[in-house]
Amino acid sequence: MAGRHIALIRGINVGRAKRVAMADLRALVEALGYTDVRTLLNSGNVVFTAPRAAQGNAAARIEKALAAKLGVSARITVLSAAELAAVVAENPLGKITTDPSRFLVCVLADPADRSKLKPLLKMDWGKDVLAIGARVAYVWCADGILASRLLVAVSRLLGDAVTSRNWATVTKLGALVDLDEEPA
């Protein structure tokens, strides 16, 4: 578990529900013993370093603390810096995506859920495109996120077992975690 990690918190600060101040979120993660804690944007992206002594599942620990200390229930998925680097390096849709705000990376809480997405590969989604990676689904929403039937299908299939970030956010997280750094 040691090294740099990214916690992706699903559904906070969207609309009026589940409001969490980023300063409170940083303090909560630091109180769990993680260091170098930084947040990106106001939408539940936390980069942190887990010391070798860190015990337990970081996602479960942060989820439990978020509910207990801040009264917010939200699903959390944690990626290691190496996993995020692989997501960026293995992007199979880079040549067709023209707008990073319409290109989503859907991070699976359980990589085994990839099998649930495979039937979607055989369907016609118009200009939208789906590719499945080791831990993520890459979703190109050609006419925008709100118009994407494909994104709706992915969300329905996986529910809260998936959280999405647009490509611009993914690359910002990569810069924040420093993808060239070897995990300690």
CB 10 within 8 A of CB 163: yes
CA distance 134 to 87: 8
Residue keyed to tokens 């860190």: 54
CA 94 to the chain's CA centroid: 18
pLDDT for 182 equals 43
Q: For the domain bounded by 3-80, which CATH number is listed?
A: 3.30.70.1280
The set of residues, in sequence order, having a beta carbon less than 8 Å from that of 95 and lying 6+ positions away, is none
pLDDT at 51: 83
| 110-146 pLDDT, tens digit each | 999 999 999 999 999 999 999 999 999 999 999 999 9
Cα gap 31→19, rounded to integer Å: 20
pLDDT of residue 44: 84
Q: Which residues of the chain have pLDDT under 50?
A: 179-184
CA torsion, ordered 50, 56, 62, 67, to nearest 10 deg: -160
Query: Domain coordinates of the chain in residue numbers?
Result: 3-80, 84-173
